[in-house]
Structure 1
Amino acid sequence: MVFIHFPLTIYGMRREHKTNPANRWPMSMSSLLDIKSSVLRQVQSRQSTRGRTEPEAPTSSPVVPCPESTSPRVAEGNGEFFERMKHILQKQENMHRMAQNEGQDDNGTALPPETVTDICVPEKVTRRELDLLCEEAVYTVMNRVGVPCPQYVTNERELFSYLQKVFAIESEEQNIILHRVQEAKRASYSLKVSVMEGKNLLAKDANGYSDPYCMLGILLGQTPRELEDRKERKFSFRKKKDKTEKRSNVREVLAAKCIQVTEVKPETLNPVWNEHFVFEIDDAFSDLLHLDIWDHDDDVSVAEACKKLNEISGLKGMGRYFKQIAKSVRSNGNAASAVEENVDDFLGCLNIPINEIPVDGCDRWFKLEPRSSASKVQGECHLILKLFTTQRDTCLSKRDSHLAIHEKLLSQIIGYEHSQVQVEPYNWDGTLSRPAQTVLSHHAVQAGLSPLQQAIIRWRCYSSHHRSQRMCYSFLLGLLWVIEEEWDAPSVQGELEASLADSFSLYTDYCLALLRNMRQTFPCSSPTAITRCEFMLRTLGHIHIMQAFKTVCPFRKELHLEISTVIKKTTVEWYEGIISQHKPDEGTLEEELRRLVSVVDAVCADVQRGQNVYNKLFSSSVKVEFFVVSYRQLEKLVAGDVSTAMERVRGMLEQEGSRLTHTMGETLFELYISLKTLQLFREFLPLRDAKMLALTGFHEWFKISIHMWLQIVHEKSCDRIHRAVEVDQLEPVHNLAKHSTSAVDVTTCFNQVQKFWAELSWPDSAGAFIFVTRLTDDICSAAVLYSELIKRKVERSQLGQGNKNLTSQVVPSCKEREI
């Protein structure tokens, strides 16, 4: 006895009681009608609930086909048809896994270029300009003052050797420049003194407070002997109380070229002045900054006398110095014997050698000193000191501003330093060598550049260099943070404001130009490139929220609008490139459809990359929904091209006597599946953007062809059944085998048909009912065909001669059948 069993399952045709064994029933025509009614009810129920609420985003993305993974075209045959259809369905799953793993490893591949030819790139400096710039750098080295930081180079020869490499000059040429600098005048220096505040001063008034003010000036350089005497006797801005005391030389009597005085702060031991003064320096290596703090007591004090003195300019005004000071230390013309009782009370002093001020300036609290061993003082004074040059004898300094010269010098050094980086030059973080830091710091000091000015120049130079040589974007972002910390709008005027606005605009335009080719510049297959893209976007987004940008670029368009425009444009250009690559408008209609499948698969892959990778970068950095903008653009373009092609297909099929070929049917099925995959991405769109998409209702384009394709499937199923019965040996069934070979093959065939229907997922309820009816009839007729064929084979076989009842048992068992 031979028993043949084969399970039969059709997706979308499951009864609600399928899990109950008691409800399993044998195949009959009335049961098939029940199936159709059940399917129609389920489809209508699903359709009635669609669109009432915004769908939740799926936890995983739709499968992504790949342009290179189209199903293979093998020789025509019974089994090959189902094998090709299986490849079409598996293609989606395989490409989904590939998309998920994409970008996990760089595999050591080189990064694509990031240069843009149509954006302003810094011009190369001429040899003449390089020589003048080298002269400026040499002059800076030979005129450096102040105490260098530990990381600076103090060896002059080492600095000259470094400059020779930076400017690529020969030794003879450098010697000429050195000689020219030695013959030039030395730099003239000035000192900026910011008297910020004092604390814990000595109380001189009966109310327990003082009325402090400061007097400060520059003491001229002293001879070695005078310096030794000064250790025993501190200078102060007042007349000597003892006429018998030996008078010092004229230089000490004059005390200072210019005396400056702060405001009087009444009744406080912790005064806050926050006043700024500038003094000329005769000799930066021997001059001394002297500061006195006094308690204001007289109607006509030393402070007021010095204020009047500072209003007088020229030698005649300086000639009145003695009379003014002498008058200030008397009380309304009293005798000299009464002077000591009425002059302002001394609260402390400071003596700071100019050559002990650090190169980068000094910002600290200084402990007040007594003027003699008998003086009683206490407290501290907060000063900010900074040296700078007022006159430089170089060709560039006579022609260009200090800002422009420092920017040129920094740009030249940046280019050289970057060329020395051997490992990952694209990721250079802008770190400069010790000689470079030394030269630039001294030049910034001598040029009198503020921290904000230096920060702006650094940003301008590095962002400009970035347009020709790739750098670390996180470093550029750090430069913007420094500008933001130091920002002071009133101090940024004229040349500096224009240059900052220009740098912001150029950087923005350059980044937008990179985004126009982002699929090649920042491919998802390279994690390094994606990281660079993220920091580039963060830098770009940070610029446009900075107060500095809003101040200097008030009329620039909003960034998210500019980026959205770029995404639309680059998406169209990318799609046009795919079209030109595959050329779907060439060849026969069938060849055109095959190429369209490749185009749609490429679009699906690009959409998935946009949703998985790019959208996160753009959304978090610049508040732009990359996926929404890109998907709507691509979906519209694909719909236009496919609908045009399907119009031609429909026109061909509606002709009398036309018939769908097997290969054309497979291609149309594959195109339908690819379009369905592309449409599934609408689940990631906001509800307002998911409405009225171009691909809505695209299934109607395939209605005629799907009917014909189902006929092909039925024919291939019948052919396969004939072949399965032919090769079946009808061997006796053992305990370990429940099915004959033909039953297994037929069951596999029906399962594949069921998968085809599930993948179609026809959204129209009326159309779905028609297709279910068609599939039901086809499956039933195929099952009957198999029964008849196997019955005849058994009857003809020797095994069936003595088994008259066998034909009644050939009907498939329904114990394992689910419909």
Structure 2
Amino acid sequence: MDEESMWKGFYEKLQQQKSVEEKVHDSRIQEVDDSFFEKFGSILKQATQKAALEESTPLAPLKEVEEQDGEKVVTEVSESRSVTRDSDSGNETLLDTDSEPEDPEKVEFYVEAVGWNVDELYLEILYEILHNVGGCDIGCEVGQQAMLTYVQEAFKISNDKHTELLTQAEAKEPPELMLNVEVIEGKDLVSKDPSGLSDPFVTIYLMSNTSHRYNTSVKSGTLNPVWEEHFSLPIPGNLQEDSLCLEVWDFDPAETVKEKMTKIFEVKGVKGLRKLMKEIAITASTGKHDNELIGTANIPLKSIPAGGMVMWLNLSKKSKLRRQGVLKARFNFSSEKNSQVAAQEHRHLLRILLLHELDSSKVAPYWWCGNFSAAAEGVLTQHAAQSGLTQLDNQLAQWAVFCAVTTDHPLSFALFNCLLDKLTKPLQSGLVNEEDVKLFWDGAKKLLPTCFSHIRKLRKKTAGDKTVMKTLREVLKILYKVSALDLPESIDLFPVNLYGWLRDKDDGSKLTIQEVLNQAAIQGASDWFVHILDNNECKDKTEESRLQHLIRVIQLVRSDLQRAVEYFDRVFVEVMSFPYSKTLYGVYEDKIASLVEPEVIQVCKSLKRLRYSEGSTNSVHLAGGINGETGLGAPDVGTEPLAMGTTLFELYLALQRFLTLGQGLNETDWNSYSISKFHGWFFGGVAQWLDIAAYKALTRIEKAVELDNLVPVDSNVKYSSSGVDTLAIFYQIKIFWQQLAWPDVEGCYTFVAKIIDDICRCCVFYSDRMSARVGGAGAAGAAGGAGGAGSPFESRFEVTTEWCVTINNIDYVRQSLPPFVQELDMDAIIRRMCEARSPLEAQRCKETLENVIANAIDTVKNKIVDLLEIMIKKMMPSITRFLIEGAELLHQDCSSMDRVMRYLEANLDTLYQHLNNENFSRTLDIVWEQLGEVLYELIQANLEKEKIATRIRFFRRRYFGKNKVSPNILFFRHRRAKITRYIDPRRMTKSAAAILDAKRRPPSFFSNLHECLKIMIRSFRQDNKDIYESETLKRVEYLLKIHGMETRELIHQYHLERWQEQQAVTEPKMGLLTVRAQFIEDNLKIEIMNARNLMPTDSNGLCDSYVRVGLLPEDTFANVEKPKTQTHSKNLFPLYDEMFLIQLSAEQRRAADALLHLVVKDKDMFSVSNTFVGEAYLHFSEVPATPAPISSLPQMHLPLSRPSNIDGDAMKALESRQGDKQAREFLKKQRQKMPSKQFFSLG
């Protein structure tokens, strides 16, 4: 085995093992609810597709035995003939006889057939055979003896009787026959006139009697004359040797020479001119006007068949070799017998011979198509010819006899169609007398029941069979052609005894064939529906069996409709313009609705609402919220009818497919069907299913979380099995909903809203369970050994892949919500809601659903954030400890920052490898946010410790003196308790709690801590961001910067804060100081111009003010003088107008954030110090550097202000340095500037 085959086999084994593991996992998940979602989702969908395929497969035809048996029962009762028309009972009643009534003629048909003595008819037939007329037909080919033998067999005459009657026939004289000739038309006759035309007429005579001639009329000026004229010539005795002569002549009228000369302009060609000259010469010399022969044709009489013929005859002339034209004529023989008697004889003879043919040939029903044997054809032809029957008479006789016989022995429907094609025109044109019209409709009365019976019992035939389809088309053609004829008022075409299933019209008028066809289709469908119910009885009365029975009935009915649509409907529409399938559907849908609706409503009512078992320990609840906070216990759904099967919804889907078929058949009016509202019957069942599905979804999710090993299901993804299992639940619910295809928009919105709400609750529930699953994961062992005391400095938290997979799972489920909602087609529902209701209401519904989804997504996002915060909080003690150690040893131990960096890098690398980019970025946000909070608490704790120390010192000096310690301890404990309450315990981490017990930190600690923080930010900064976006972190960085400053830097920072406060003053209450200032090289020139609205400080309401100018920071400008203006007494609007030039060094000129400090004071003659009025600041950046005269510069109006509080960050940092003399003195000065009530803010 080569290496490639080995690895391939190894891979296949791994895949097989993986497949087995997945199947085992799926089975364990599905065991929780017995595959509830799969049954109603994918399994139900597969069953539906299979059922749809079965319904589209045509059923096998009903056995013919059943049809024959049924007809026997019917025919026995129909003999009573005492019936009344039945109202439609939905079943084929005993009166339902169609074309099958037993005719008494069948027993003694010979006596009934002739209506007179059979011997007389037989003798007449023998006589006609003996005196055969015509030739070259079947009679000559068969022979006389063959016809005699055939007739004897057909009439069932004994030999003795036959001999006796044959002798009588031979003794009778030959019949007197006539030859009927119809001259129809001529074509391509030779021209005889100078004009190139002729004036033809025809002369007819027998060669045995040339003196007895018959002439047609003259057709002037034509070579293609049409005559259509009839002649009857007596036939002499010697028929076999005589012949008929037809001559075509050109008529030449008697004209003088002068009259002929006038035709000179009608001459056509040289030949015509020659003929005209010849005629003129003959007329001038002799005065004769003889007709000119065009051509002749001879026909031996023996060549004319007994049944007659139509043929084209070639015209010839002795002197001419070329044909002179053709002549069309019809020939037949006739006698002088009474036409009514002859027709009656022919009908009786035709019936006897037809019955004999059918009996002897054993032809199958509906198969005989009018082909008699040669002997029978000869006998019938001779009788028709010698009786003088016309073609119409013969066709009417055939119609009457064939219609009568087909009731007992069905004949081919094509035979009747051919006869109708020949009879329709004469009947419509009125060429048929009244007796023959009645004869025709009597035959139609016998034929139509067979036609309608065939339509009613189409299901007993094989659909799609060519013979069946051809027969149906022939039947419909018969109905169409008969319906096109005018029915006499006296004819009842649909008698009661033949149409027991037919219902009369309400107005009492006669039914038309189209209406009877409609009733036949309806009755056939009703009979078939009863047949289905009779042969598919419900075996037991359980709800499951009853529902299965209904599904089976619908499937069988739909299969019948499918067969009608695929095979029969096109034929009905093409021939009769009759919507056959639509008619059937109208019958079936009403019957199905009546059968199914009460059953479904009863089953849905029997479905009980969810019950809850008291005292259940199951944490999953449906009615009590997702966490089961109501304490109702777990719902008991194991024994619910709906939980045990999908039969109810299989019935729903069967009805849905049935309605879809109806919508295709009746696109405009399908809403009128009873079954169009079928979904309303299932409303309670669907609502119950959704309730149970919600409960089972939560149950399965809980099991999925329990079985989840928190390992990615595949190397290409970052989520584990529980996420896949949860989405599988959603997928199965979606399949179920898509199969329902709920048509009612209001119900659709209700259910979709319920589904979306349940899915959102499932997402939240899943995130809760996954969060609880990893709550204790990731704790590492004690740093110094196992079994530590649990201090945050003894153990550290390590991020594991379980945390990452959990977060990914929750996010994976969250991301599935929006596409899941789209797959539910919520937008289409809203559009339909807009059409059905109003745009405003539809918008409100849309917003409601969007809010539900948005709330769920936000909730799940918050769960992810909460989980990340929990994870980061577990990391914070170690991070804080490493940071503090790094800050204390930053410049002493070079590896002090490596520990925190290694710890962060290890955990963040795990997160980066297993989280997606969004969650990883969110994790970094939380890291910096919580780190900022820890550091902020550290700073605040340091401030509080300094305040406590200060107050303790003050309290001890004031009340106890220097040696009293016990009250100090009590007070310290009391204040520490207050501090603990001051800091929010929910935000305070273990590190912050430990810090409360730590020592007070010097500024260098905060400076080092700031450096450590900046190193961390630079190391883990994403996307090259210069400034991190966390506001807390920005604030902490600023505070660390403040607390890491030296005291002098803090003092200047305070002045900068005061300058920033001054920028925000809009209404100065202490007054306004106006100055001009400029830099001239390194020198500062300032002009103190005036002050306005100074705050009065003296008892007289005035002020003795002056302005002192200082530069900040003081240590930078220590050697610079501080100029002062003159004092302006008793004036609130002093005009100083003094100019000062202050010499600066280059370094001082470029000092960062340098300020010009302008202090306004009130000079007090009797006080040690002057009274502070207000101060203003001017930043060096605000002073222009220009050599221009200062008078040309704009005035600057600086608002005067006083320090109002000690809440500034710089002030708080200074207060924390009570051991620093410079800080204490500065604070003392600033408090003196404040209002007296704020001088002792720590009291």
TM-score (ref. length: structure 2): 0.45
Structure 2 residue aligned with 1:709: 689
Q: CA deviation at 1:623?
A: 0.5
Secondary structure at the aligned position of 1:148 is classed as coil
- 1:193-592 to structure 2, matched below 5 A, reads 193-196=181-184, 236-237=210-211, 262=216, 273-283=227-237, 284-286=239-241, 289=244, 347=293, 352-364=299-311, 383-390=329-336, 401-418=341-358, 426-484=366-424, 489-518=429-458, 520-522=459-461, 524=463, 526=465, 528-545=467-484, 557-579=511-533, 587=541, 591-592=545-546
Matched, 1:600 2:554: yes
Q: Which segment is superposed worse, 461-470 or 445-454?
A: 461-470
Taking the aligned partners of 1:745 and 1:611, their CA distance within structure 2 comes to 44
Distance 1:704 1:739, change over 3 A: same
Other-structure match for 1:761: 741
- Asked if structure 2 preserves the Cα contact closer than 8 Å seen for 1:99 and 1:609, the reply is no
In structure 1, the residue matched to 2:576 is 622
Specify the code of the residue in structure 2 equivalent to 1:191.
L
Mark the CA change 1:288 to 1:605 in structure 2 (over 3 Å): closer, same or farther: closer
Distance verdict in 2 for CA 1:425–1:662, change over 3 Å: same
- Bigger drift between 178-187 and 127-136 goes to 127-136
Task: Give 1:616 deviation, angstroms.
Answer: 1.6
Q: CA deviation at 1:756?
A: 0.7
- Equivalent positions of 1:111-150 (< 5 A) are 117-119=97-99, 123-124=105-106, 126-128=109-111, 132=119, 135-149=123-137
What do the CA deviations read for 1:648-698 (whole angstroms, capped 9, x no partner)?
456555899899523687343233222222222343245542343323443
Q: Contact 1:152–1:435 (CA<8 Å) still a contact in 2?
A: no
Give 1:34's aligned residue.
none
In the aligned structure 1, how far is the partner of 2:305 from the partner of 2:354? 25
CA distance change for structure 1 residues 613 and 160 in 2, over 3 Å: closer, same or farther?
A: same
**d(CA) in 1 for partners of 2:359 and 2:747?**
68
CA distance in structure 1 between the partners assigned to 2:140 and 2:774 by the alignment = 100
Contact 2:718 2:805 in 1 (8 A): no
Letter in 1 for 2:332: K
1:642 aligns with 2:596: yes
**Residues paired across the two proteins, number:** 659
**Kept in 2: contact 1:120–1:506 (CA 8 A):** no
SS at match of 2:231: strand
Q: Distance in 1 between matches of 2:467 and 2:65?
A: 8
Deviation at 1:270, TM superposition (A): 7.4
Q: CA RMSD in A?
A: 5.4
2:953 corresponds to: none
CA pair 112-773 structure 1, distance change in 2 beyond 3 A: same
Aligned partner of 2:805 in structure 1 is 809
Q: Which residue of 2 aligns with 1:318?
A: none
Q: Which SS does the other structure have where 2:349 is aligned?
A: helix
- CA 1:527/1:386 → structure 2, altered by over 3 Å: closer, same or farther? closer
Matches of 1:467 and 1:177, distance apart in 2:
33
Deviations 1:8-58 (A, max 9, x none): xxxxxxxxxxxxxxxxxxxxxxxxxxxxxxxxxxxxxxxxxxxxxxxxxxx
Deviations 1:79-114 (A, max 9, x none): 3774476554334322433454538xx899979859
Distance 2:647 2:42 in 1: 13
* Structure 2 letter corresponding to 1:388: S
Quick one: distance in 2 between partners of 1:650 and 1:201? Answer: 91
Q: Which runs of 5+ in 1 are unaligned?
A: 5-74, 221-234, 238-255, 300-339, 392-396
Structure number with larger C-alpha Rg: 2
Q: Which residue of 1 aligns with 2:1176?
A: none
CA gap of 1:136–1:808, structure 2 versus 1, over 3 A, is farther
Secondary structure in 2 aligned to 1:491?
coil
Q: Distance in 2 between matches of 1:756 and 1:402?
A: 78
Flag the 1:403–1:480 CA change in 2: closer, same or farther, 3 A: same
Counterparts of residues 139-218 of structure 1 (less than 5 Å): 139-149=127-137, 153-167=141-155, 174-196=162-184
Structure 1 distance, partners of 2:702, 2:360, is: 75
Q: Give the Å deviation of 1:447.
A: 2.5
CA distance in 1, matches of 2:173, 2:36: 93
- Give the residue type in structure 1 aligned to 2:743: P
Other-structure match for 1:67 = none
Task: Return the offset for 1:196.
Answer: 4.5
Distance 1:174 1:730 in 2: 109
8 Å Cα contact 1:212-1:296 kept in structure 2: yes
Task: Give distance in 2, aligned partners of 1:695 and 1:298.
Answer: 85
Q: Which residue of 2 aligns with 1:23?
A: none
CA contact (8 A) 2:64 2:460 kept: no
Residue identity opposite 2:109 in structure 1: T
Q: Distance in 2 between matches of 1:796 and 1:484?
A: 98
Q: 1:475 to 1:645 in 2, by over 3 A?
A: same
Q: SS in structure 2 opposite 1:277?
A: strand
Q: Distance in 2 between matches of 1:652 and 1:763?
A: 24
- Contact conserved, 1:543 with 1:549, CA < 8 A, in 2? no
What is the TM-score when the length of structure 1 is the normalising length? 0.65
Q: Secondary structure of 1:810's match?
A: helix
Seen in structure 2, the aligned counterparts of structure 1 residues 272 and 298 have a Cα distance that, compared at 3 Å, is: same
- Once residues 51 and 164 of structure 2 are traced to their aligned partners in structure 1, the CA distance between those partners, rounded to angstroms, is 68
Instruction: Give the aligned residue type for 1:92.
Output: T
Cα distance in 1 between the residues matched to 2:305 and 2:379: 14
The alignment partner of 2:646 has SS state of helix
The secondary structure found in structure 1 opposite 2:35 is helix
Q: CA deviation at 1:378?
A: 7.6
- Matched AA of 1:678: F
**Unaligned runs of at least 5 residues, structure 2:** 1-17, 19-30, 72-95, 255-285, 494-508, 613-636, 782-797, 821-1243
Q: What amino acid maps onto 2:651 in structure 1?
A: L
CA-to-aligned-CA distance 1:146-196 (integer Å, 9 cap, x gap): 112379624333334444554556656654554453344443322223344
Tell me if the contact between 2:247 and 2:297 (Cα under 8 Å) persists in the aligned partners: yes
Amino acid at match of 1:810: T
Residue type matched to 2:519 in 1?
Answer: T
Provide closer, same or farther for how the CA distance between residues 552 and 286 of structure 1 changes in structure 2, counting only shifts above 3 A.
farther
Aligned counterpart for 2:654 among listed residues 660, 666, 674: 674
1:609, distance to aligned residue in structure 2 (A)? 3.2
Q: Provide the residue aligned with 1:330 in structure 2.
A: none
* 2:45 aligned counterpart, secondary structure: helix
Query: Do the aligned partners of 2:701 and 2:766 also contact (CA within 8 Å) in 1?
Result: yes
Alignment match, 1:610: 564
2:771 and 2:806 in contact (8 A); partners too: yes
In 2: Cα distance, 1:807 partner to 1:616 partner: 67
Equivalence for 1:683? 663
- The amino acid across from 2:463 in the alignment is C
